[in-house]
Amino acid sequence: MKERKSDMERACKEMRLGVAVDVEKCNGCRTCELVCSLHLSGMFDPYSSAIRIVRPDVHGPISSEIRDGCDLCSGLSIPYCVEFCPTDAVFLTRVP
């Protein structure tokens, strides 16, 4: 299992993968922020999250940001934000 995880980490680095949000699918629940903060800081603290979901008003458009602190959930086979997004809005993608 450990070998599979390190294989995936290596593949992610070689392919320059990152996470991204399909804002058309996102419902603004911010679960991704909570689980990301749990991974990065050990606490449910959206301020520690590397993924940010921004919705200035309840009916307004949603935007997202992936910050430098994202380590693609090193050590996990599926990044938390991908695994726990209820609408499958977060996905792995190639980065330039």
Interaction site with ligand SF4 (CB under 6 A): 19, 21, 26-32, 35-36, 39-40, 50-51, 53, 66, 70-73, 79-81, 85-87, 89-90
Q: How far is the CB of 16 from ligand SF4 (least distance, A)?
A: 14
Nearer to ligand SF4, 1 or 89 (CB): 89
CA distance 60 to 72: 28
Residue whose tokens read 């695994």: 83
CB 92 within 8 A of CB 23: no
Q: How far is the CB of 43 from ligand SF4 (least distance, A)?
A: 13
Nearer to ligand SF4, 8 or 73 (CB): 73
Q: How far is the CB of 68 from ligand SF4 (least distance, A)?
A: 10
Q: How far from 27 is each of 9, 32, 43, 89, CA to CA, in Å?
A: 29, 11, 23, 9
CA distance 42 to 3: 24
